[in-house]
Amino acid sequence: MEPLVYRGFSVIPETEADGFIYGDITDHFYFDTEEADGCISGDGFVQAPDGSRAGIVWELNNEPSVSVIFEPEEDRWGVYNVGFVKPIKTMDDLIFNFRTVIPLLKEAYYDAQFRK
């Protein structure tokens, strides 16, 4: 059964790495003009191997980063500010960015398990 948090929003199977999958809330392929480098911020979520989810508010950053916005709650393992390193214009960009932050998201997930 789909978790209640972020119900109705789809995961993007192509992003899966080590059982973690990105899901989009805002359109990560939306950017203002065709000349733009790509999408530079957005909202999404990450689904862990156990099916639980956490929110992601992402923006461009010089290096991959993850920081806590909201601590774990009963229905999600937190909300995180995530730094992606390149604008998103293609699926390959999204996959690259998500997989770059996976080690940090794994750490946040495991830390959240102890804070619940």
In a domain? residue 7: no
In a domain? residue 6: no
> Residue 87 and residue 70: Cα distance in Å, rounded?
25
- Show the beta-strand stretches assigned E in the chain: 21-24, 41-47, 53-60, 65-70, 79-84
pTM assigned to the model: 0.89
**Edge-to-edge strands, sheet with 21-24:** 21-24, 41-47, 53-60, 79-84, 65-70
Which pLDDT does position 3 carry in this prediction? 60
In a domain? residue 39: yes
Mean per-residue pLDDT of the chain: 90
In the chain, the number of structural domains is 1
Range of the domain at 37: 13-115
- Residue pLDDT, tens place only, 10-62: 999 999 999 999 999 988 877 766 657 889 999 999 999 999 999 999 999 99
DSSP 32-47: S-TTS--B-EEEEEEE
In a domain? residue 72: yes
The tokens of 67 are what? 């920081």
Which pLDDT does position 35 carry in this prediction? 58
In a domain? residue 74: yes
Answer for the pair 39, 59: CB distance below 8 angstroms, yes or no: no
